């Protein structure tokens, strides 16, 4: 049996979600743009899903736009801000997801924006005073800061950042892909204009997500064609994906307190076992600090071992699935670890946990790792 500890990359589909979406694959197959009964059935289901999501996030249904996932949502938010609101200056961090960084780098390359980065310390903590300085020195800006980092787990204070942005009339976009479904978000209070989410990060289906766009903020369309999503996103809707997204978020909110507590105990166990059995280990960023990091992510820095130089491949061969960082960056040096000046001579493993993991899996994964170093000592 394989042990799956790469839940920041994707999560296992919840069986309740599977049961909910099956009828929309087999029975309710109409096109929601059609005006007959088959179309009206699924159109109604889509709007009910939108209402469910909006209700959980304390938003208005018309502020929820369905997308193919977090990447499209991030791209739409950024390009809409720059092109519809004539934003010429964008402020971000050096460890954003590539869906954000690559989009901004391309806009800067094309001469559409000036790009600034908020200073960070060796743990990846943001310098909020520097953010204010950047906002003071320019005309209206877009600030794009993720809620939690997908590689080292750092949580950013988006409530405070939202307040700062509000003071300077800046547009605030936050990539919340790693935290939607894992933390409660009250969008009526959070001073953000855009947030992005992806269903497969919280036990929903792949290929579907949403963009929250605060009422009154102009949104430009990326896809042209039909009038779907209130003429904002052309193309026939991913019906079963949307239904599954809403159900997965509903389940997440229903069980969120229980799962936070349970998964944090697994993470704490992993920290303790690694320190006990491997010894020469430290944790990147704020990864091991409970109130400053995602309870689902632990980034561990381990020494290189000649008997298993590629620890990721070694663990894979021993039926343990983990990653070194973002699944989107496989095969390239992690820009996140570079940003915090992590020791490049060591192995980094990102363990990420879900409600389906067990203490026995944690213990076995650590014992497999520890055996590599025990063999050297012997």
Q: What is the pLDDT of residues 99-117, one digit of tens each?
A: 999 999 999 999 999 999 9
Sheet holding 171-175, edge to edge: 64-67, 209-213, 194-198, 171-175, 141-144, 89-92, 114-117
Write out the catalytic residue numbers.
Answer: 328
- Judge whether 46 and 36 are in contact, CB under 8 Å: no
Of 6, 65, 73, 21, the closest CA to residue 205 belongs to 21
Supply the pLDDT for residue 256.
98
CATH number of 3-10+256-377: 3.40.50.720, 3.30.70.20, 1.20.120.1200, 3.90.1150.10? Answer: 3.90.1150.10
Calculate mean pLDDT across residues 22-26.
Answer: 96
Which region among 47-51, 119-123, 135-139, 315-319 has the lowest average model confidence (pLDDT)? Answer: 135-139
* Token couple for 182: 């894992």
Calculate mean pLDDT across residues 19-41.
Answer: 94
Taking CA atoms, 86 is separated from 89, 139, 180, 216, in Å, by 9, 10, 29, 16
- Judge whether 218 and 65 are in contact, CB under 8 Å: no
Q: What is the pLDDT of residues 187-241, one digit of tens each?
A: 999 999 999 999 999 999 999 999 999 999 989 887 889 989 888 898 999 999 9
- Rounded Cα distance between 89 and 115, Å, is 6
Given a cut of 90, whether residue 333 has pLDDT beyond it is no
Q: What is the pLDDT of residues 259-314, one digit of tens each?
A: 999 999 999 999 999 999 998 899 999 999 999 999 999 999 998 875 556 889 99
Domain ranges of the chain: 3-10+256-377, 15-251
Q: How does 169-186 read in b/e, with b if 16+ C-beta sit within 10 Å?
A: ebbbbbbbbbbbbbbebe
- pTM, two decimals, is 0.94
Q: What stretches of the chain adopt beta strand conformation (E)?
A: 3-4, 64-67, 89-92, 114-117, 141-144, 171-175, 194-198, 209-213, 282-283, 297-302, 320-321, 347-352
- Rounded Cα distance between 4 and 168, Å, is 44
- Rounded Cα distance between 325 and 329, Å, is 7
Q: Is 348 helix (H, G, I), strand (E, B) or coil?
A: strand
User: Does domain 15-251 sit in CATH 3.40.50.150?
Assistant: no
As to burial, measured by CB atoms within 10 angstroms (0-12 exposed, 13-18 middle, 19+ buried), residue 85 is middle
As to burial, measured by CB atoms within 10 angstroms (0-12 exposed, 13-18 middle, 19+ buried), residue 38 is middle
Calculate mean pLDDT across residues 57-80.
Answer: 97
């Amino acid at each position: 049996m394989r042990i799956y500890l790469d839940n920041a990359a994707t999560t296992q589909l919840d069986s309740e979600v599977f049961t909910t979406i099956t009828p929309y694959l087999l029975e309710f197959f109409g096109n929601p743009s059609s005006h007959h009964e088959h179309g009206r059935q699924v159109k109604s289901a889509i709007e009910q899903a939108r209402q469910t999501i909006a209700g959980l996030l304390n938003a208005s249904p018309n502020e929820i736009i369905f997308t193919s996932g977090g990447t499209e949502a991030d791209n739409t938010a950024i390009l809409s801000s720059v092109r519809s609101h004539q934003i010429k200056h964008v402020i971000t961090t050096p460890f954003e997801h590539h869906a954000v960084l690559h989009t901004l780098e391309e806009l800067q390359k094309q001469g559409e924006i000036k790009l600034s980065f908020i200073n960070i310390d060796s743990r990846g903590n943001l310098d909020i005073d520097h953010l204010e300085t950047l906002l003071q020195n320019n005309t209206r800006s877009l600030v794009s800061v993720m809620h939690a980092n997908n590689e080292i787990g750092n949580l950013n204070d988006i409530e405070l950042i939202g307040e700062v942005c509000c003071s300077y009339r800046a547009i605030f976009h936050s990539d919340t892909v790693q935290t939607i479904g894992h933390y409660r978000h009250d969008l009526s209070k959070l001073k953000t204009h855009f947030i992005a989410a992806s269903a497969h990060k919280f036990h929903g289906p792949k290929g579907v997500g949403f963009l929250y766009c605060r009422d009154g903020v102009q949104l430009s369309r990326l896809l042209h064609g039909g009038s779907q999503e209130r003429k904002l996103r052309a193309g026939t809707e991913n019906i079963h994906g949307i239904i599954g997204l809403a159900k997965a978020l509903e389940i997440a909110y229903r069980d969120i307190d229980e799962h936070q507590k349970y998964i944090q105990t697994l993470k704490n166990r992993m920290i303790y076992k690694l320190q006990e059995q491997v010894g020469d280990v430290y944790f990147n960023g704020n990864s091991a600090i409970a109130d400053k990091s995602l309870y689902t992510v632990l980034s561990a820095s381990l020494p290189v071992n000649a008997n298993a130089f590629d620890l990721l491949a070694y663990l894979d061969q021993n039926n343990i699935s983990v990653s070194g960082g973002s699944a989107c960056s496989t095969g390239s040096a992690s820009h996140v670890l570079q940003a915090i000046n992590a020791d490049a001579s060591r192995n980094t493993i990102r363990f990420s946990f879900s409600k389906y993991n067990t203490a026995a899996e944690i213990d076995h994964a650590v014992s497999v790792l520890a055996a590599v170093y025990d063999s050297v000592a012997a």
